[in-house]
Chains A and B, each alone.
Chain A
Amino acid sequence: MRYLPKSPVDREEMLAEIGVTSIDDLFSTIPAEFQLKRDLAIPRQHGESEILDRFREFADNNAVGYSSFLGAGVYRHYRPVIIDSLVQRGEFLTSYTPYQPEISQGTLQAMFEFQTMICELTGMEIANASMYDGSTGAAEAIMMAVRVTGRDGAVIARTVHPEYREVIATYAQHQEIPTTEVGYTENGRVDLAALDATVTKDTACVLIQSPNFFGTIEDVAAIAEIAHAKGALLIVSIAEAVSLGIVRPPAEADIVSLEAQSYGVAVGYGGPYCGVIACKEKFLRQMPGRLIGETKDKDGKRGFVLTLSTREQHIRREKATSNICTNQALVALMTTIFLTVYGKQGMKELAEQNLAKAAYLKGVLSAAAGAKVLFDGAPRFHELVLQLPKTAEETNTALLQHKIIGGLPLAKWYPELGPNASLWCATELTTRKQMDAVATALADKKA
């Protein structure tokens, strides 16, 4: 086996040094009845070229050669080449959690830079070194708010990504955190009156998403006011992190839970991505996950360490702020490189291009016969909800004939929008030609 650096002689000599005659002697503590005496029934050993062939075949069985208008929590943005050049350096790729800071400064400094950028982008004071993803991050943020406030209810906007809400429900059920959902008005934003009526003195937090699942930017300040008036915390979840280049950061929030996938992470059929929690400094002790802090060595040289680990499971065990251990460090590094490439100017220009593409897409789609763009009364980033004369499924099936993957049908989660509603997305990578092709395809008699 080509990954194993031992010759048959090495093995024999090592067994002799150990003082056993056969390798099976070393497994003798496994009761005989449970020792596997046969080969595992799995695919045979493959040569490297065969592995590549096998996966190329898998790849060809996916949507190759289609243009896609899917977003809905996962966004295709351009990934600068240097991201992969750098994260594939073995020193980043093949290191562990930086438990020994003297030989882990590379990861530690990069994560400190990550934390700094996330603070700057979200308008928060501190940020952790990543969570699994946006959905679990949102759930952890709610549990954090419950610890901070000593209250136990969570009010969640229905405009939060439906799969995030499902994950939250899974986490909340055994924490005894009652959750209540609040709907939206016809401009696609959180219904403020309903929110005000729902938040009580027992509410630990209000969770919203902005831009929300429909692509609409929420009135964060107004929502914060309602939450804070009753002593609840405001958590803002952000699923489209590129929006922060042009959209005001939710500085009125107490906690921000960000999914940073948009920052140079491949859509990759759903993961790995990069969640991160940022918050006001006063909530530091309740923060889940790893934190990197700046310090000095005995010569006064600046260095970085994992810090405040008394919050974490390896010290605090069942009293920890979370059970998270392994996080998404390498993906956080990808996002850090992406953010460095675009930087202060580029993040803005990139976000502006997204706005422009979405505006064009809106023009194209709303011109289609019988089409209606919903939620037009509030600003949006780069997604929109469209109603067409046929069901979203029918429309999409017809579009597939033109090698187009249409918007995401919404009926499953938002039956009130009817069967014809779907969620469309354009990013800087969506070309005018692709959008014009949608117009043509929708006008096609067969469609």
Chain B
Amino acid sequence: MSVEKFVGTPKKATTHTNQSEDLIFEKSSPGKKAYRLAELDVPAVDAASLLGESARKDLGVMPELSEIEIIRHFTRLSTWNYAIDLGMYPLGSCTMKYNPRVNEAVARLEGIAEAHPYQPESLSQGCLGIMKTLSDALIEITGMDTITLQPAAGAHGEFTGILLIRAYHESKGNPRKKVLIPDSAHGTNPATAAVCGYEVANLKSNAQGMVDLAELEKMVDEDTAALMLTNPSTIGVFESDIKKIADILHAKGALLYMDGANMNALVGKTRPGDFGVDVMHLNLHKTFSTPHGGGGPGSGPVACKKILEPFLPTPVLVTKADGMLGLEYNRPQSVGRVRMFYGNFGMFVRALAYILANGPDGLRQTTEDAVLNANYIRAKLDGTFELPYKTATLHEVVFSDRIQAKNGVKTGDMGKRLIDYGFHAYTVSFPMIVAGAMMIEPTESESREELDLLIDALKQIAREAEENPELVQTAPHSTRIQRLDETTAARKPILRWKAPVAATPLAVDTAAKEW
């Protein structure tokens, strides 16, 4: 396609480039510029003589464009994305809620955005104040005793939390060997246990999709370091026996880790610290509204009980005798650092702005609305889709594709068909305890009208699955591109752009000569 462009082959009709935006490298022309450096106010230097052997000669395919072209390139690309700002994004477990814009405004205030992590503490009281105010709020929300904001995302929080548990057991003389993980858990849980040097023991869920107490009792022993439990679970069910679960673990000296990915179901209604959790992470990019940005950044603070405090990563935020805030590095029992500096600070700013915008009443209402929305969808779609677990659910609902699969229509197909109705797909094929899972999490950010549209669309898709399965199986039909060949992508990976081997397009394109 780029060959055509280079030689100016006449086209049948002009298709505007915003229908098919080339890669930035294909749009580049030598000599174009989108920058103008400030005038150099010191003598210029000769890089070649300063650097000698270490001097770079060439920057290869790095692009050259003007500012307007760059704006158009990325703006066009942006229009090919679905986003919360366009409509409901019902990805279960991901908590795709509204990302308030005041959060972005405050994160960009100069005194905050320009603060260097090594500037003196006396000149960082604002940043430390943000961390302190956020920490206090999160401690209160979780009912825990203390917190570290250092982890960069949920999985990184899990890593930190399990390290705390390991350090705790080591301080008692034995790190123990295994971590119990329910079969309904997110993949990061077992992956984390492995990075922390633990064996993973798979805990089978009971018929309700919940922790099987008898099984747990059997499995917990003196080699068990912890149970990593998601509560509410990945099927949206609150573990009503949570206190018993904690007691079984504690009786054997094991600890209870809670994956807090689903805290949007609990904030202001109940507190993990009150129901026996020893350590947990939060996802500020889920519950506390910081934007997902197409995959990140996140932030995964870890809150824990007093018994784990000595092991927190360094530095620890402290209030000094004179009332000033400071960072304490001398913590002999610490697990060490999990990240340089203090974490994804910009996310702390946004999460705190969200908490301030809500206050206690707003946060409670938020949780209630999230749970209301999920239960509304559940009530309206139960029967249209199979509900494998009948237990009451909180913030999300997991259906299965069993009814539609009889016609060869799978959860993935229906997710893709949902795109034709103007929505992002729900989470497909997770959790693994539900065959053909359709995991829907509306969050509080959806109006009743938007929920009704989703419900309507899914009912229509169920009808289509009966009457015209192929229509669903080949969806989406309304997007710029069709389903992509993922098999070839993995078999013959092309992971970067390369300049065409023949640099002169004329050598390739004979049609051009005729023209």
Q: Do A and B bind each other?
A: yes
Please, which residues of chain A bring their CB within 8 A of the CB of B83? 90-95
Asked if A197 is an interface residue, CB under 8 A from chain B, the answer is: no
Q: How far is A109 from B379 in the complex, measured between Cα atoms in Å?
A: 39
Q: Which of B439-490 contact A (CB under 8 A)?
A: 444-448, 450, 476, 479-486, 488-490
Asked, given contacts A68-B116, A272-B344, A353-B37, whether A331 binds B297 with beta carbons under 8 Å apart, the answer is: yes
Instruction: Report whether B445 and A14 are in contact in the complex, using a CB–CB cutoff of 8 Å.
Output: no
Please, which residues of chain B bring their CB within 8 A of the CB of A442? none
Q: How far is A99 from B90 in the complex, measured between Cα atoms in Å?
A: 13
Asked if B63 is an interface residue, CB under 8 A from chain A, the answer is: yes
Instruction: Report whether B153 and A132 are in contact in the complex, using a CB–CB cutoff of 8 Å.
Output: yes
Instruction: Report whether A58 and B112 are in contact in the complex, using a CB–CB cutoff of 8 Å.
Output: yes
Q: Which of B285-329 contact A (CB under 8 A)?
A: 285, 291-299, 313-314
Asked if A327 is an interface residue, CB under 8 A from chain B, the answer is: yes
Asked if A129 is an interface residue, CB under 8 A from chain B, the answer is: yes
By Cβ-Cβ distance, the 4 closest A-B pairs, closest first, are A330-B293, A270-B341, A59-B111, A45-B359
Q: How far is A188 from B217 in the complex, measured between Cα atoms in Å?
A: 58
Residue of B at shortest CB range from A27? B269
Instruction: Report whether B45 and A293 are in contact in the complex, using a CB–CB cutoff of 8 Å.
Output: no
Instruction: Report whether B336 and A166 are in contact in the complex, using a CB–CB cutoff of 8 Å.
Output: yes
Residue of A at shortest CB range from B289? A3
Please, which residues of chain A bring their CB within 8 A of the CB of B154? 325-326
Smallest CB–CB gap between A229 and chain B, Å? Answer: 20
Please, which residues of chain A bring their CB within 8 A of the CB of B293? 87, 92-93, 95, 329-331, 333
Asked if A116 is an interface residue, CB under 8 A from chain B, the answer is: yes
User: Contact string, B118-131, partner A, CB cutoff 8 A, digits 1/0?
Assistant: 11100111110110
Instruction: Report whether B42 and A356 are in contact in the complex, using a CB–CB cutoff of 8 Å.
Output: yes
Instruction: Report whether B486 and A295 are in contact in the complex, using a CB–CB cutoff of 8 Å.
Output: yes
Instruction: Report whether B64 and A345 are in contact in the complex, using a CB–CB cutoff of 8 Å.
Output: yes
The stretch that binds B, out of A150-158, A198-206, A241-249, A368-376, is: A241-249
Smallest CB–CB gap between A138 and chain B, Å? Answer: 10
Asked if A286 is an interface residue, CB under 8 A from chain B, the answer is: no
User: Contact string, B94-111, partner A, CB cutoff 8 A, digits 1/0?
Assistant: 101011101011111111
Instruction: Report whether B488 and A353 are in contact in the complex, using a CB–CB cutoff of 8 Å.
Output: no
Q: Which of A17, A96, A115, A342 contacts B294 (CB 8 A)?
A: A96
Asked, given contacts A271-B152, A293-B495, A379-B52, whether A318 binds B194 with beta carbons under 8 Å apart, the answer is: yes
Asked if A192 is an interface residue, CB under 8 A from chain B, the answer is: no
Could you jot down 8 A-B contacts, CB within 8 Å?
A27-B371, A42-B360, A58-B127, A167-B337, A247-B51, A326-B153, A327-B296, A405-B119
Asked, given contacts A248-B56, A330-B293, A345-B33, whether A103 binds B137 with beta carbons under 8 Å apart, the answer is: no
Q: How far is A270 from B118 in the complex, measured between Cα atoms in Å?
A: 9
Asked if B365 is an interface residue, CB under 8 A from chain A, the answer is: yes
Instruction: Report whether A174 and B296 are in contact in the complex, using a CB–CB cutoff of 8 Å.
Output: no
Asked, given contacts A82-B70, A113-B23, whether A96 binds B196 with beta carbons under 8 Å apart, the answer is: no
What 13 new A-B contacts, CB under 8 Å, besides A29-B391, A136-B156, A314-B188? A1-B365, A17-B379, A31-B275, A58-B130, A60-B111, A64-B110, A76-B114, A82-B67, A167-B336, A297-B482, A325-B154, A331-B296, A432-B42
Q: Which of B123, B141, B488 contacts A63 (CB 8 A)?
A: B123
Please, which residues of chain A bring their CB within 8 A of the CB of B497? 112-113, 116, 294
Asked if B40 is an interface residue, CB under 8 A from chain A, the answer is: yes
Interface size on B, residues (CB 8 A): 206
Asked, given contacts A62-B127, A116-B497, A133-B339, whether A333 binds B416 with beta carbons under 8 Å apart, the answer is: no
Please, which residues of chain B bring their CB within 8 A of the CB of A66? 119, 123
Q: Which of B191-226 contact A (CB under 8 A)?
A: 191-197, 200
Smallest CB–CB gap between B326 and chain A, Å? Answer: 14
Asked, given contacts A134-B340, A346-B33, whether A51 binds B353 with beta carbons under 8 Å apart, the answer is: yes
Residue of A at shortest CB range from B427? A99
Please, which residues of chain A bring their CB within 8 A of the CB of B158? 323
Q: Which of B59-105 contact A (CB under 8 A)?
A: 59-65, 67, 70-71, 73-75, 77-86, 89, 91, 94, 96, 98-100, 102, 104-105
Interface size on A, residues (CB 8 A): 201
Q: Which of A237-274 contact B (CB under 8 A)?
A: 244-249, 266-272
Smallest CB–CB gap between B312 and chain A, Å? Answer: 12
Please, which residues of chain B bring their CB within 8 A of the CB of A329? 292-297
Residue of A at shortest CB range from B373? A14
Please, which residues of chain A bring their CB within 8 A of the CB of B371? 23, 26-27
Residue of B at shortest CB range from A381? B51
Q: Which of A50, A100, A269, A327 contacts B342 (CB 8 A)?
A: A269
Q: Which of B67, B77, B123 contacts A405 (CB 8 A)?
A: B123
The stretch that binds A, out of B237-245, B247-255, B501-509, is: B237-245
Q: How far is A89 from B72 in the complex, measured between Cα atoms in Å?
A: 12
Q: Which of A57, A170, A324, A347 contacts B155 (CB 8 A)?
A: A324
Asked if A181 is an interface residue, CB under 8 A from chain B, the answer is: no
Smallest CB–CB gap between A275 and chain B, Å? Answer: 9
Instruction: Report whether A269 and B117 are in contact in the complex, using a CB–CB cutoff of 8 Å.
Output: yes
Asked if B13 is an interface residue, CB under 8 A from chain A, the answer is: no
Q: How far is A86 from B270 in the complex, measured between Cα atoms in Å?
A: 39
Asked, given contacts A62-B123, A313-B187, whether A297 binds B271 with beta carbons under 8 Å apart, the answer is: no
Asked if B24 is an interface residue, CB under 8 A from chain A, the answer is: yes
Instruction: Report whether B295 and A55 are in contact in the complex, using a CB–CB cutoff of 8 Å.
Output: no
Asked, given contacts A318-B193, A405-B119, whether A40 binds B363 with beta carbons under 8 Å apart, the answer is: yes
Instruction: Report whether A95 and B155 are in contact in the complex, using a CB–CB cutoff of 8 Å.
Output: no
Asked if A416 is an interface residue, CB under 8 A from chain B, the answer is: no
Please, which residues of chain A bring their CB within 8 A of the CB of B168? none
Asked if B514 is an interface residue, CB under 8 A from chain A, the answer is: no
Instruction: Report whether B357 and A45 are in contact in the complex, using a CB–CB cutoff of 8 Å.
Output: yes
Smallest CB–CB gap between A87 and chain B, Å? Answer: 8
Instruction: Report whether B366 and A267 are in contact in the complex, using a CB–CB cutoff of 8 Å.
Output: no
Q: How far is A260 from B77 in the complex, measured between Cα atoms in Å?
A: 22
